[in-house]
């Protein structure tokens, strides 16, 4: 089991969620609509990053 694909998705979800949270909290309040946006950013970050496969180690040493 490779943890790199799991950590990649978790970090992407945290980064997307924290970016949305910092934008929503700019006015010192977070509304319920903004919470949905934060949840969507976390889910989108997790899902989209999970869908992209990691590059194989043998591919890293080849030139394009």
64 in a structural domain: no
47 in a structural domain: yes
Q: Contact 17/41 with Cβ under 8 angstroms?
A: yes
For the chain, how many structural domains are there in total?
A: 1
14 in a structural domain: yes
Confidence band for 61, pLDDT divided at 50, 70 and 90: low
31 in a structural domain: yes
| Mean of pLDDT values over 48-62 | 70
Q: Contact 21/30 with Cβ under 8 angstroms?
A: yes
Supply the range of the domain harboring residue 25.
4-51
pLDDT of 60 higher than 60: no
- Burial of 32-57, coded b for 16+ CB within 10 Å and e otherwise, reads eebeebbeebbeebbeebeeeeeeee
Q: What is the pLDDT of residues 5-54, one digit of tens each?
A: 688 889 999 999 999 999 999 999 999 999 999 999 999 999 888 887 77
Q: Which residue has the higher pLDDT, 64 or 49?
A: 49
34 in a structural domain: yes
């Amino acid at each position: 089991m490779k943890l790199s694909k799991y950590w990649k998705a978790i970090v992407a979800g945290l980064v997307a969620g924290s970016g949305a949270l910092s934008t929503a909290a700019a006015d010192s309040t977070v509304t319920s609509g903004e919470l949905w946006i934060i949840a969507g950013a976390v889910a989108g970050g997790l899902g989209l990053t999970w869908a992209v496969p990691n590059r194989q180690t043998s591919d890293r040493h080849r030139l394009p």
